Homo-oligomer: A and B are copies of this chain.
Amino acid sequence: MATISDVAARAGVSTATVSRTLNGKSTVDPALAAKVRAAAAELGYHPNALARNLRRQETAVLALIISDVENPFFTAIARGVEDIAQTAGYSVVLCNSDENEEKESRYLDVALQERVAGVIISPTGRSTDVSILRERGTPVVAVDRPLPAEPGDQVLVDTRRAACEATEHLLAEGYRHIACVTGPEGVRTADDRLEGYRDALRAAGITTELFRRSELRSAGAREATSELLDSAEPPDALLVINNTMAIGALEAFKARGIRAGRDVGIVAFDDAPWTTLVDPPLSVVTQPAYDIGTVAAKLLLARIGGGSDKPTATVLEARLVARASSRRTP
């Protein structure tokens, strides 16, 4: 591979001039610049980013660590991040922690070692530790879930309130024995949505709460839902806290010949393209996933640019989209 010295030799100038020309930093004599460009083109010169990064002590790469690549909610965030990063000349490295603290910590380590310019992360659990990055001054923005014990930048959704509204909606439809299918303790969104569910029950004067926790996957939710449906006093409606789990819940319905809306009401978090295609259409709490990504990326870029004010916490709104799965049809 051609190096900067090869280009310099061919253009009959110093490496410094080549560097200046190609980076457009300082002014260079137009004639020389043309020679440099010609030489670079002829040699098929591609600057070695490794060397540049080492010299500059920084990279034009953002790391995005998400907890589940197969969840459309997170891929939508990724799109948002990428779109903003692109325009600023940054590349995005997408890392899938898979709700696994070990993988997450390994990726945080890689991010540090590779000296990425900044990190956006949806923390997996209670013990996510980004202090190694903070110490080095690498900006970190948390999305979807806050970092434990950290007053850092965050882009979250008012998910407790949304869960409350969804539950209120089910109550308004006449459902009385509502259950919540949520995720593991310690996952903030799981806990918050459960709290929102409780808020609504409390406000309605209902004292018998009913919930199951499972891993954040369809298989777990299928089992949890099955348990609920097969219990002595099965719920007449369900609040499911993400769209992957909604699939599990609907599978459990299907296995029992239960029809959403008619037999058991259901509202799930996150919209997805398929939710209007199931029968009946699924009521959802839709979160501004793409916006979470763009807001987080802009915030991160601002931090990289040097804006080191106090930590920001942005809270976006979720919106209930009531469809037939939560409408009582006699």
Chain A positions within 8 Å of B, measured between CB atoms, are 1, 44, 46-51, 53-54, 59, 61, 69-70, 72, 75-76, 78-79, 82, 86, 91-96, 103, 107, 109-110, 112-115, 132, 135-136, 218, 244, 247, 250-251, 254, 272-274, 276-279
CA A278 to CA B273, docked complex, whole Å: 12
Distance of A112 from chain B, by nearest CB (Å): 5
A94 lies within 8 A of B94 (CB): yes
Q: Which residues of B contact A244 (CB under 8 A)?
A: 273
With A and B bound together, what is the CA distance between A112 and B92 in angstroms? 15
In the complex, the answer to whether A251 meets B274 with C-beta atoms within 8 Å is: no
Interface SS of chain A: helix, strand, loop or mixed? Answer: helix
Q: Which residues of B contact A112 (CB under 8 A)?
A: 46
Q: Report how far A254 CA is from B278 CA in the complex, Å.
A: 10
Given known contacts A70-B76, A113-B48, is B82 in contact with A277 (CB within 8 Å)?
A: no
Of B44, B61, B273, the contact of A247 (CB 8 Å cutoff): B273
A114 to B274, CA, bound (A): 38
Nearest B residue to A69 by beta-carbon distance? B75
A59 touches B70 (CB 8 A): no
Asked whether, in the complex, the Cβ of B132 is within 8 Å of the Cβ of A44, the reply is: yes
A295 to B68, CA, bound (A): 22
When chains A and B are docked, how far (Å) is the Cα of A75 from the Cα of B61? Answer: 21
Chain B nearest CB: distance from A244 CB in Å? 8
Residues of chain B within 8 A of A273, CB atoms compared: 218, 244, 247
- B53 touching A50 by the CB < 8 A rule? yes
Question: Could you jot down 22 A-B contacts, CB within 8 Å?
Answer: A44-B132, A46-B109, A46-B112, A48-B115, A49-B110, A49-B113, A49-B114, A50-B50, A54-B54, A69-B75, A69-B78, A69-B94, A70-B75, A70-B76, A79-B96, A91-B93, A91-B107, A94-B94, A244-B273, A247-B273, A247-B277, A250-B277
